[in-house]
Amino acid sequence: MNLLAAVAYNPAMKDKNYVKLLRQASPYIHAHRGKTFVIAISGDAVLQSNFHSMVHDIALLQSLGMRTVVVHGARPQINKRLALSGIETSFEQHLRITGSEAMLCIKEAVGSTRLAIESQLSMGLPNSPMHGARIRVIGGNFVTAKPLGVRDGVDFQRTGEVRRIDSQAIKRQLDDNSIVLISPIGFSATGESFNLNYEDLAAQVAITLKAEKLILVSDSPGVMNKGSLLRTLSLPQLAELLETSKDVQQISLLGAAAHACQLGVERVHLVSYQQDGALLSELLTRDGSGTLISKDYGEIIRAATIEDVGGILELITPLEDQSVLVKRSRELLEAEIARFTVVVHPEGFIVGCAALYPTADKQIGEVACVATHTDFNGQGIGSRLFDQIEFQARLQRRSSLCVMTTQAAHWFLEKGFVRAEVTDLPANKQSMYNYQRNAGVFYKAI
Ligand SMILES: CC(C)(COP(=O)(O)OP(=O)(O)OC[C@H]1O[C@@H](n2cnc3c(N)ncnc32)[C@H](O)[C@@H]1OP(=O)(O)O)[C@@H](O)C(=O)NCCC(=O)NCCS
């Protein structure tokens, strides 16, 4: 597929500078090539008017060398089909009890949902992003299921759970550059079919294939907390959320995410089908669009090295342009890199930095260039950086810290700093003080 044409066709990217965009995406493309991604799509997503855009994005990821397995759900389609047939099903322990008649409807609904996805992936009209893509979609009896059985006295009948995934067969298809499409129905050794929860199925597929990522696409933009989106979540935080959540849909998604993470899938992403291009921005941009869950999440705070100069510049240049931070050239930053501490996101990019400078007064260290990427504000990154700087200053046997800031005065006051005068600064800092910038001066005894 013509990559430029594909990117140009994505409305979310339409107005951007394609060349810049592609250059920014290229490290992610290199990193993801040859890796296996399991993308779980809810049945609702398939019903959206913009579903074709998501399919184009999946095809694009595949054409960029990512080994792609799509697992789909079909809940709304199943509900509609059951209603048309006048069949009512009950739920226990958040799971549907599937009788034989209901199973017939489920097979029909799942089959037609699958065909809808296959037909979108087969598109190839000229002047469309799928032109020339020739995507091969493969399905089969990759999933062996077993009945859930009787639990707490409830017989779940044809509701099943995964018994085995034929990973070798799936891998062969991926080796052959096909997209593997898996439906939420599994077959037993006795030849019966069972209704499966697609989130669980996707997690099992990702675990068995040792996938790089499991991406759960649903109506939610990710994990929300008090109205704001959590960009990253560790496994313990996820477990806490699961304990308190009462939302069945969320429990199903987060449960699958936790299961996959616990059993070796390094990264689980939650993204929304409602946001056009969410899948691409989550995988190919630094900022992402949803929530990233990882077992070992816990950003790394470490001393900066010369390799971090580019990342630090990317982080601080917008703040310098707004005169929030003092301008530093690349050369100056390279020369002073040993003074910097950085916070590295699990995906490898820098989300925060801070520096500790010596001053003419041996007792006083200067805190400078404290910055957190705007997408990650309010998650304690700035505070952890500051704690690290304070710790370093103590190691250097300094008794106080000074800082000059135009916009973060209150942040430093809350860290125990007190307001001071320019004349209180060490001599070299006084002589370099920029009266035009008029930054406030603050001190903290440590
Ligand atoms: C200041 C800064 C580093 C804080 O980073 P952060 O990672 O969001 O900080 P934390 O998560 O540890 O702290 C968040 C708390 O600080 C508050 N806060 C953030 N920026 C603030 C500011 N400029 N002034 C006052 N309070 C601020 C937030 O409201 C939040 O408080 P709350 O939880 O009570 O709502 C970040 O806002 C930044 O990069 N600012 C621009 C650069 C700058 O001015 N640096 C200082 C000059 S050296």
386 Cα nearest atom in ligand 1: 12
Quick one: pLDDT at residue 226? Answer: 67
Pair type for strands 154-155 and 91-92? unpaired
Report CA(381)–ligand 1 centroid distance (Å).
Answer: 9
Task: Single out the residue of 2, 16, 1, 69 nearest to residue 281, CA to CA.
Answer: 16
Asked whether residue 164 falls in the same domain as residue 257, the answer is: yes
Judged against a pLDDT cut of 60, whether residue 9 lies above it is answered with no
Distance of alpha carbon 210 from alpha carbon 266, whole angstroms: 9
Asked whether residue 250 falls in the same domain as residue 315, the answer is: no
Q: Are 156 and 128 in contact (CB under 8 A)?
A: no
Domain-terminating residue out of 235, 265, 294: 294
Judged against a pLDDT cut of 50, whether residue 5 lies above it is answered with no
Domain of 427?
300-445
Asked whether residue 107 falls in the same domain as residue 87, the answer is: yes
Buried (b) or exposed (e) across 156-193, using 16+ Cβ within 10 A?
bbbbbbbbebeeeebbebbeeebbbbbbbbbbeeeeeb
Task: Single out the residue of 389, 336, 386 nearest to residue 365, CA to CA.
Answer: 389
Asked whether residue 359 falls in the same domain as residue 406, the answer is: yes
Instruction: Please give the model's pTM, rounded to 2 decimal places.
Output: 0.67
* Sheet containing strand 193-195, strands side by side: 160-165, 143-147, 185-187, 193-195
Asked whether residue 286 falls in the same domain as residue 366, the answer is: no
Quick one: pLDDT at residue 11? Answer: 54
Evaluate: CB of 382 within 6 angstroms of ligand 1: yes
Evaluate: CB of 379 within 6 angstroms of ligand 1: yes
The DSSP H or E segment spanning 108 is helix 100-121
Residue ID of nearest Cα to ligand 1 atom 19: 411
Listed range (131-145, 175-189, 330-344) with the worst mean pLDDT = 131-145
Report CA(420)–ligand 1 centroid distance (Å).
Answer: 20
Share of the chain above pLDDT 70, in %: 93
266-320: pLDDT as tens digits: 899 999 999 888 899 888 876 678 888 887 656 788 999 999 999 999 999 999 9
Distance of alpha carbon 248 from alpha carbon 361, whole angstroms: 60
248-268: pLDDT as tens digits: 888 889 999 999 998 989 899
Helices 235-244 and 248-262: crossing angle, nearest 10°? Answer: 150
Domain-terminating residue out of 241, 267, 294: 294
Q: Beta partners for 356?
A: 367
Asked whether residue 12 falls in the same domain as residue 58, the answer is: yes
Ramachandran assignment for 416, one of left (phi > 0), alpha (psi -120 to 50 degrees), beta (any other): left
Evaluate: CB of 319 within 6 angstroms of ligand 1: yes
* CATH number where 421 lies: 3.40.630.30
Asked whether residue 286 falls in the same domain as residue 224, the answer is: yes
Asked whether residue 317 falls in the same domain as residue 289, the answer is: no
403 Cα nearest atom in ligand 1: 48
Quick one: pLDDT at residue 128? Answer: 67
Evaluate: CB of 405 within 6 angstroms of ligand 1: yes
Asked whether residue 278 falls in the same domain as residue 308, the answer is: no
Asked whether residue 365 falls in the same domain as residue 311, the answer is: yes
Q: Residue 222's pLDDT band (boundaries 50, 70, 90)?
A: confident
Judged against a pLDDT cut of 60, whether residue 381 lies above it is answered with yes
383 Cα nearest atom in ligand 1: 12
Evaluate: CB of 371 within 6 angstroms of ligand 1: yes
Q: Residue 239's pLDDT band (boundaries 50, 70, 90)?
A: confident
The number of folded domains in the chain is 2
Quick one: pLDDT at residue 7? Answer: 46
Judged against a pLDDT cut of 90, whether residue 232 lies above it is answered with no
Evaluate: CB of 410 within 6 angstroms of ligand 1: yes
Asked whether residue 364 falls in the same domain as residue 231, the answer is: no
11-59: pLDDT as tens digits: 555 555 677 778 778 878 888 999 999 999 999 999 999 899 999 899 9
Q: Calculate the alpha carbon distances from 418 to 305, 346, 390, 422 in Å.
A: 32, 35, 15, 13
To the nearest whole number, what is the mean pLDDT of the chain? 89
Judged against a pLDDT cut of 60, whether residue 60 lies above it is answered with yes
Distance of alpha carbon 400 from alpha carbon 215, whole angstroms: 47
Q: Residue 242's pLDDT band (boundaries 50, 70, 90)?
A: confident
Report CA(331)–ligand 1 centroid distance (Å).
Answer: 27
Listed range (140-149, 164-173, 232-241) with the worst mean pLDDT = 232-241
Quick one: pLDDT at residue 311? Answer: 95
Report CA(84)–ligand 1 centroid distance (Å).
Answer: 55
Distance of alpha carbon 355 from alpha carbon 22, whole angstroms: 32
Report CA(55)–ligand 1 centroid distance (Å).
Answer: 39
* CATH number where 265 lies: 3.40.1160.10
Asked whether residue 65 falls in the same domain as residue 207, the answer is: yes
Q: Are 386 and 354 in contact (CB under 8 A)?
A: yes
Quick one: pLDDT at residue 212? Answer: 93
- What are the DSSP calls for 305-359, one per residue? -GGGHHHHHHHHHHHHHTTSS----HHHHHHHGGGEEEEE-TTS-EEEEEEEEE-
Evaluate: CB of 370 within 6 angstroms of ligand 1: yes
Report CA(34)–ligand 1 centroid distance (Å).
Answer: 39
Residue ID of nearest Cα to ligand 1 atom 40: 371
Half-sphere exposure of 382 (CA within 13 A, CB side): 18
Q: Which one of 351, 411, 441 would you pick to mutate in the ligand 1 pocket, going by the greatest count of ligand atoms within 8 A of its CB?
A: 411
406-435: pLDDT as tens digits: 999 999 999 999 999 999 999 999 999 999
Report CA(408)–ligand 1 centroid distance (Å).
Answer: 7
Domain-terminating residue out of 243, 271, 294: 294
Evaluate: CB of 401 within 6 angstroms of ligand 1: no
Judged against a pLDDT cut of 70, whether residue 78 lies above it is answered with yes
Task: Single out the residue of 321, 320, 324, 317 nearest to residue 404, CA to CA.
Answer: 324
Judged against a pLDDT cut of 50, whether residue 3 lies above it is answered with no
Judged against a pLDDT cut of 80, whether residue 99 lies above it is answered with yes
Evaluate: CB of 411 within 6 angstroms of ligand 1: yes
Report CA(384)–ligand 1 centroid distance (Å).
Answer: 11
